[in-house]
Every structure is written in C-alpha cells, then in structure tokens.
Amino acid sequence: MPAMQSYKGRFEPTRFEDLTVTIDFRCHSACRFCIVQEGMNYFKGVPLEKFSQVVADNAKAPRYKRVTFTGGEVTLDHRLFDYVAVARESGSFEHIRVQTNGRLMANKAFAERLVDAGIDEYFVSLHGHDAETQDYISQRKGSFDEAIAGLEHLHAMADRGVVIMTNTVMTTLNAAVLPDIVETVRRFDPARMEFWNYLPMEDFGDERNLIATVEQLRAPLNSALGKARDYGINALVKYYPQCLLGEHADCMDNAQPDVVIVEDFYEIYPQFACMWEAKCGHSDTCLGLHHPYIEKFGWELEQLTPVPRTTPWREPEYGLALPTDDPHGRNLAAASHPDWASLVDGVAERTGTRLSDLLLDRRHCIFRYALGGDPEASVDIVLTTRTSERRALARTRSFNIHYRNVVNGGGNEQALREVVQAVIASVTQRDLGTLSLDERKGLVGPEAFRRQRDQRFDKVALERK
C-alpha cells in the first residue's frame, strides 16, 4: 500500500512570532525518552554573539514577540542570565520564557533571581503525577519533589506576572496517569498544560518500548483533557491523532516556533503520515502517525476515524501559519498577521478577487488569491527575502516576489495576471523595509554541530534514504 506522506513542510518552524534559542544541552536529569539525549546532542548551543545579532535584527524589524530559552536544562547554565539580559534590554520581546525541569527553582532565591532577570513564562516539564513515577522517568531521585517545590515558588510570584505552563511527554511510562498529572498540577494554576506524544529521534525501532499505542493513550488523554477543561486550564496536544480527541479536538496544535539552530535539526524529526489524509477534514492540522509508530503498530485504520472534508483536498505545500504562542489562548485560528495583510490592502476589492489565505513562515509570506468569477481558480503570490541571486518577477525594498501554484488557470489567465500585478504594485508601494523574512538556514551554520555529529548524524540521514 503506498504511504500517504504528510508534507515535510509541517515540520518547518511555523509559529512566526516565536523564537526558540538553545543555549546548551547539558541536563542533570536523564529522562528515559529525552529527545536531547537521543537526537539533539548533535547540536551545540547558540553563541551569545549570534543571539545578540538576531535580537538586534528583531529590534530593527520587529518580528518575534517571545523568546524561549531551551536546550538541556538551561537553568544550569549561568550564561542564561547573559542571554536573558540581551533579550530584556533590547525591549523587543513581550515575553521571555524558559523550558525547564523546574528542579533548581526549589531554591527560592534562585527562582526569584530568574523572575528578577525578566523571565515571565515557565514551561515546566512534569512527566509523572508522583515522585515514584517522575523519578523513575527522570532517573533522578528527588526530581519530582524539587520540581513541585519549584512550582510552588513560581506560583507564589503570580502577582509579579509569572505564568506557569507544564509539559508532559506521553509514553508507555505515564500513559495511565495523565489525568493524575492534571490533579497534581492544578493547584499551581497553570495557564496551559501541554501533552506531547513521544517522538523517537534515534530509537526508531522503539527498543525501549516507549511508544504508547493510540489506544493506550486515548482514554487517559481524553480524561486528562476533560479534567483540564473542568478546571479552566487550557490544554494542548501534539503528535496524536486529532480524530481520537473527541470533544477535545480543538486542543490539537502541532506548530513549532522558529528555532535558532541549524536547519538540520528538523531533519532528524520523524516523518508522519495518515492513510486518511485526503479524506479527513482534520488533516490540515493533524499529522497522523509517525513512521516509527506505523512500522511497529501499523496504520491503525480501524482506530482512526476521519471526519468528512468540507473543502476538496489539495496536496498541502506549506506549513501551518500561526501567530504568537499565547498560553492563555489556543491560537489555533489561522493567523491574520495584520502588518503583512496591510501590504496588499485593497487589492482583492480592486481586482474582484478574494485573499483566501495568508501564510507566513520565516522564509515566505504567501498571499493566496481566489478569483471572484471562478472561486476554484487561485494563485499563490510568494514573497521571499530580497536577493539578486534568485530570479524574481519583481523586487521591492525587502522582498523578491514570484507566483506559483496556479489552480484552474485555463481561461482565467487575464484575471490571474491582474491580481499578480496588483499585488506587486501594492507591495512595491508599501514595503518600507520594516518587515523582513529570513533566508539564513536555521540562522547558524555548521559550527552549531558537535564534533561527533558527522558520524551519528550521517547514520540517521543514511537510514532515511
């Protein structure tokens, strides 16, 4: 049976207004499923100078509203405060977030120091509901108690604007206790609880038996989501079939932020597929199953229940385009990106067309126009960063412009041409150099790899071929 391959673009960084910066990958826990231990040890942290450059760019042409520091356990690295200072002093971010296991915040003075430094959002990993489960998973005795003490200290600073979110990686080790984790966490008033299905980054054969089946996760996950809803906690799920979330289908969110790291980072992510992709109304937001899952457990055709599509299926070409990651809201609606939409203000009215989509990722801004006379006919007008190295239909102050993906062009050539020309004229007039796209792949080069990278990374790459 041919595999219905989900498009790779979905794993492009697509949460346009969020930036993730990896500082280092050391950690004092050793979670049994950890993707850092598995796959990300290939990468080094981003040098402070490189980060400062990105921040300076952001101050000049604001794009990112939030910066998240992550890696292994970033709070172990005293340089974190230097990075945070650069971010804070630039004044160009609304929020500064750390992704953390929360253990060092058991020290109240340290938790306060983080808050004093300007970090207002704490994305705390909690993979078990009690010490026995969490300490087994983290392979560090006391890690649960420390994280809970850390959460207490952070919660006590809620009046200073401290926002708590939690992250739970779902594996066979905690599948049954997901609802209990909600019970454990609720007293800290988290703005959001995230449940990420485990993704193997290296153990593709799942020799450690960490991949939980969709059926193993289904009841406890839905119960956890129900509890979260009842307690007024936003919940979010990644990498699990949307059709199995029942009334919680709107919790699905597979978007990723922009990552200041080599682009190859995304090459080691597993790919996804679903046999129902062309039939299912969720397939624009749902990834289906990852390949190691399919290899081990099959396509789950009996379990997955596609919802009927209301629009015809088109081979998806671009990733999801979402705005900034507001923990208080779900942000699942298509982004409007007003600054970018204003580049083409009035074009639809003047040409009798409809701007049916505005898709934004780091490298592209795509305006999709449907024709008024033939709504089945459309064209994508694509803005990329200005460069003379590539052919373009037009160049404005900041952008190259070209068009692609003409649908039902036959007989509509004139109308399609008019809208393309109108967009070019509009963007040329309104591009004042305050918006920018980035062509640099992942923003840092090969220096971000550790030395052993070649051998191990190439092994992964080879297995993919």
User: Min. distance of Cβ 164 from ligand SF4 in angstroms?
Assistant: 30
Is 420 a residue that touches ligand SF4 (CB under 6 A)?
A: no
Say whether residue 288 binds ligand SF4 (CB under 6 A): yes
Rounded Cα gap, residues 178 and 169, in angstroms: 10
CA angle in degrees (0–180, nearest 5) for 59-428-374: 115
90-109 footprint of ligand SF4 as x/- string (CB under 6 A): --------------------
What's the closest the beta carbon of residue 132 comes to ligand SF4, in angstroms? 33
Q: Applying CB under 6 A, which of residues 220, 241, 257, 327 lies at the interface with ligand SF4?
A: 241
Nearer to ligand SF4, 279 or 395 (CB): 279
Tokens representing 102 are 């929360």
Across the strands, what pairs with 404? 380
Instruction: Tell the smallest beta-carbon distance from residue 294 to ligand SF4 (Å).
Output: 11
φ, ψ for residue 2, nearest 5 deg: -70, 140
282 binds ligand SF4 (CB under 6 A): yes
199 and 173 Cβ atoms separated by less than 8 Å: no
| Closest separation in Å from C-beta 245 to ligand SF4 | 8
The answer to whether 168 and 178 are in contact (CB under 8 A) is yes
Instruction: Using alpha carbons, select from 270, 274, 279, 271 the residue that is nearest to residue 298.
Output: 274
Fill in the DSSP letter of residue 11: G
Binding of ligand SF4 at residue 72 (CB under 6 A)? no
If residue 131 lies in a helix (H) or strand (E), which one and from where to where? helix 131-138
Site for ligand SF4 in 301-360 (CB under 6 A): 304, 306
Please, what is the minimum distance in Å from the beta carbon of residue 99 to ligand SF4?
26
Q: Does 46 bind ligand SF4 (CB under 6 A)?
A: no
**Applying CB under 6 A, does 248 fall inside the site for ligand SF4?**
no
Which residues touch 314 (CB under 8 Å, ≥6 apart)? 407
**C-beta of 189 vs 313, nearer to ligand SF4:** 313
For residue 259, state whether it binds ligand SF4 (rule: CB under 6 A): no
Q: What are the backbone angles phi and psi of residue 214, rounded to the nearest 5°? A: -60, -35
Residue 290 CB, nearest distance to ligand SF4 (Å)?
11
Whether the CB-CB separation of 46 and 448 falls below 8 Å is answered with: yes
Piece of 20-28, 115-123, 241-249, 254-262 that binds ligand SF4 (CB under 6 A): 241-249
Q: Where does this chain touch ligand SF4 (CB under 6 A) — which range of 50-58, 166-174, 239-247, 339-347?
A: 239-247
Q: For ligand SF4, which is the closer residue by CB, 9 or 338?
A: 9
Nearer to ligand SF4, 293 or 369 (CB): 293
- Long-range CB pairs of 295-301 (<8 Å, 24+ gap) are 295/204, 295/205, 296/205, 296/206, 296/211, 297/211, 297/213, 297/214, 299/1, 299/274, 299/275, 300/214, 300/241, 301/275, 301/276
The binding site for ligand SF4 (CB under 6 A) comprises: 241-243, 274, 276-277, 280, 282-283, 286, 288, 304, 306
